[in-house]
Amino acid sequence: MTTLINPSSIPNLEKTVYTGDILQGVPVISHLGVGELAPGQCHRFFFEGVQMGTGQHWYVPVVVAKGNRSGPCVGLVAGIHGDEVSGIDAVQRVMAQLDPTAMAGSVVAVLGVSRPAVEYTRSHWLTAQGGGSQVDMNRVWPGNEAGATAATRHAGLLWNRLLINNVDMVIDYHTVTTGSDFTLFLFADLRQPTVRQMAELFPAEQMQNDPGLAGTLETALVEAGIPAMTVEIGGPRRFDPTKIAGAVEGTLNVLKHYGLVDGPLGRTAAEVGTVVGDALETIRATTGGFLEMLVDLRDRVIPGQPIARQRNAFGDVVAEYRAGVMGEVAVVARDAVCEPGSRVVQILYSQGATVN
């Protein structure tokens, strides 16, 4: 996807551009230049995103912890999907532990990218176009300021005016969507040395060596030469304290390793025994019915092992599902009512692995 913009419309890349508006005591900006912000301080902004149909804007909360010494700029992005709230909590907790007067470099926290989705606790951006069409904000990056949907334009504004000219590496926080549950999981392109180092600093339960998916923020950043990975923090719509704590610990490990903050490292992937695979087997329902799960997160499975069954309204078994690979359960359905095509389970495995 090509980002089509008018170069003359973008301000000086090193300057923070203030619109003059103040929302809830917080200044509004249309462009961020981390380099010229005052050091040793924590700066709060509302970033002016795309306009709504009424001409008002969607505003994205941004916090910048600017250190007293030079160093890299790390971006922490949460809320690309609106029902995935544990990432927002994790980033807030990281930022609360930072002391800009003792830091090197900067940390830019973007807290709730997909504004309408966050407000209505939905996965996708709901637009007025097409009578209420939905756009997956993690399939439109790097966006396009002149794009065909508001979501695509919003991504383009964030990419061009907030992220790309400031950050040196990025962690993108997600959870699984409504109706399912996930482990503390990493998607990371381990072919990239810096991405591999970042991933190995996380005490994740599972990790997929993932070459990337077009349109995701992670892949767009990696293709632009900026190391990035995706952290999945369990289930949606609620905070998962244990997985959030692991995500915070991993994030602080990254900041410590790259010299932004001082202190000993916490647990790493090697210490917790992170399970690494290079593929996910997705098993989907073939019929409608009430779903009974026979496995849970982190369960080890082998080919042919029963993982779920469905019953109709009379209690008759109408479908049984079995694992097709040897691996570890990463995602499970939590909704008992299960339509045809719904995801039942995903199993992390290594391609080419054999059953012992």
pLDDT of residue 258: 98
Q: Are 231 and 246 in contact (CB under 8 A)?
A: no
Residue ranges in the chain whose pLDDT is less than 50: 1-8
Question: 124 by DSSP, 3-state: which?
Answer: coil
DSSP state of 32: -
Q: What is the DSSP annotation of 54-77?
A: TS-EEEEEEEEEE-SEEEEEEEEE
pLDDT of residue 12: 59
Please state whether beta strands 289-293 and 275-277 pair in parallel, antiparallel, or not at all (unpaired): unpaired
Amino acid at 126: L
pLDDT of residue 263: 97
pLDDT of residue 163: 98
Please tell me the distance from the alpha carbon of residue 348 to that of residue 184, in angstroms, as a whole number.
Answer: 13
pLDDT of residue 352: 79
Q: What is the DSSP annotation of 162-186?
A: IITTT-SEEEEEE-PPTTEEE-EEE
Name 345's Cβ contacts closer than 8 Å, sequence gap at least 6.
282, 283, 293, 295, 307, 308, 321, 329, 331, 332, 333
DSSP state of 36: G
Q: Quickly count helices (H) and strands (E) in the chain.
A: 7, 22
Place of tokens 């997956």: 136
User: What number of CA atoms fall less than 13 Å from residue 354's CA on the CB side?
Assistant: 1
Please state whether beta strands 69-78 and 169-174 pair in parallel, antiparallel, or not at all (unpaired): parallel
- The domains of the chain, with CATH numbers, are 7-275 (3.40.630.10), 279-349 (2.40.50.100)
pLDDT of residue 7: 41
Please tell me the distance from the alpha carbon of residue 214 to that of residue 331, in angstroms, as a whole number.
Answer: 22
Please tell me the distance from the alpha carbon of residue 189 to that of residue 208, in angstroms, as a whole number.
Answer: 8
